[in-house]
Amino acid sequence: MASRFTEDAPIRHEDQALGFTIPARHARGRVVRLGPVLDAILSNHAYPPVIERVLAEALTVTALLGSTLKDADGQLTLQAQTQGGAIDLLVCDYRGGEMRGYLRHDAEKLAEMPADPSLFALFGKGYLAITFDQAAGARYQGIVPLEGAGLAQAVESYFAQSEQLPSLVRVAVEARGDAGHVAGGMLIQHLPEGEEGRERLHTRLDHPEWEHVRALADTIKADELTDEALDLETIVWRLFHDEPEVRVLPMVALSRGCRCSAEHVREVIARFPPDERAEMADSDGMIRVDCAFCARVIPVPVAA
């Protein structure tokens, strides 16, 4: 793969998430851009281009949602449950800025599809499950049909149906051949007046404040989201510089992270009774654990 950098190349703003709020409009948002992290995850499997794009979109959405977690030890999991399409499994998660993702597909079904298959063709009758796990033990999950032009529209439906939060989600992915991939995304949401410290009694999708923010946010262009030379703060400024106040949150660094360390696997294997561990072992007395996320096989002695 060709290098993304040259001696005189500008600073590239990649693998970052930036949060912001617009207090006067009761709105909050996130902007993310993925580069090397995306390539590291996609390179674990020989995905065809169409599948790479779907997983790249899913990882971008995961970064947008995961970076909203206030608890650094919390986890966001995005999973597609499908039936009848070319994709039968999609799962991504985010924890503390670390991300991972995996997609399983039927190569024969995919080969029968056009070059740019629809969301329904790829997933069939599918549902998107979004799960927020807080470190304190609180867990919330919402499930919505996989409908619309792409995953971004499915996430908008999730927030409208499960959270009653008017939301706009935009995702852009660009494949650059040997130079890898870059993806960007933006999430904007409207919080009802008096949101802080109160229960949400109702939501107005046509609230004038939300219509104003949505109209501004909807001017974002795909090439702005994928332009590594354009920093995320500049994107926010371009969209909302006429607002009386925009508060920018600390930048979050994103990285590839998988929990398939040998130590973790040994801890999991050790929980099984000795007779079950013996059944798992091969003729060499090793239990070999496959990690679907990073395509790594971890050998563990049966006596571990």
Print burial letters for 155-166: b (CB count within 10 Å at least 16), e (below 16): bbbbbeeeeebb
Residue 174: the pLDDT is 94
Q: How many angstroms separate the CA atoms of 277 and 286, rounded?
A: 9
Whether residue 149 is contained in a domain is answered as yes
Assess whether 193 and 276 both reside in one domain: no
Residue 84: the pLDDT is 87
For the chain, the domain total comes to 2
The residue-averaged pLDDT of 5-9 equals: 46
Most confident region among 64-78, 238-252, 264-278 by mean pLDDT: 238-252
Q: CATH number of the domain that 221 lies in?
A: 3.55.30.10
Assess whether 138 and 112 both reside in one domain: yes
Q: How many angstroms separate the CA atoms of 72 and 127, rounded?
A: 27
Angle between helices 151-158 and 49-66 (to 10 degrees): 30
Q: How many angstroms separate the CA atoms of 96 and 69, rounded?
A: 9
CA separation (Å) from 21 to 25, 65, 246, 270? 9, 15, 6, 46
Assess whether 247 and 269 both reside in one domain: no
Whether residue 47 is contained in a domain is answered as yes
128 exposure class (CB count in 10 Å sphere: 0-12, 13-18, 19+): buried
pLDDT exceeds 70 at position 7: no
| Residues linked to residue 252 through DSSP beta bridges, in sequence order | 17
Assess whether 22 and 54 both reside in one domain: yes
Question: Which long-range CB contacts under 8 A does 160-164 form with residues at least 24 apart?
Answer: 160/205, 162/130, 164/200, 164/202, 164/203
Whether residue 294 is contained in a domain is answered as yes
Whether residue 8 is contained in a domain is answered as no
pTM, rounded to two decimals: 0.85
The CA angle 151-126-59, to the nearest 5 degrees, is: 35
Assess whether 174 and 206 both reside in one domain: yes
Read off the pLDDT of residues 20-59 as tens digits, 9 standing for 90 and up: 999 989 999 999 999 999 999 998 888 999 999 999 999 9
Assess whether 103 and 230 both reside in one domain: yes
Q: How many angstroms separate the CA atoms of 68 and 17, rounded?
A: 10
The CA angle 16-21-25, to the nearest 5 degrees, is: 145
Whether residue 152 is contained in a domain is answered as yes
Assess whether 190 and 114 both reside in one domain: yes
Assess whether 276 and 231 both reside in one domain: no
Residue 196: the pLDDT is 43
Assess whether 93 and 205 both reside in one domain: yes
pLDDT exceeds 80 at position 4: no
Whether residue 69 is contained in a domain is answered as yes
The residue-averaged pLDDT of 81-99 equals: 91
Assess whether 109 and 146 both reside in one domain: yes
pLDDT-wise least confident of 94-108, 146-160, 240-254: 146-160
| β-strands 296-301, 286-291 pairing | antiparallel
Whether residue 79 is contained in a domain is answered as yes
For the chain, list the strands marked E by DSSP. 16-22, 27-34, 75-81, 87-95, 98-105, 127-133, 139-145, 167-175, 181-190, 247-248, 252-253, 255-256, 286-291, 296-301
Read off the pLDDT of residues 116-143 as tens digits, 9 standing for 90 and up: 888 888 998 889 999 998 877 788 888 8
pLDDT exceeds 70 at position 68: yes
Domain range for 91: 16-256
Assess whether 268 and 142 both reside in one domain: no
Q: How many angstroms separate the CA atoms of 214 and 167, rounded?
A: 8
Whether residue 189 is contained in a domain is answered as yes
Assess whether 230 and 91 both reside in one domain: yes
Q: How many angstroms separate the CA atoms of 182 and 4, rounded?
A: 11
Nearest to 64 by CA among 130, 126, 120: 130
| β-strands 247-248, 139-145 pairing | unpaired
Q: Would you state the structure tokens that stand for residue 169, as one six-digit string? A: 């989600």
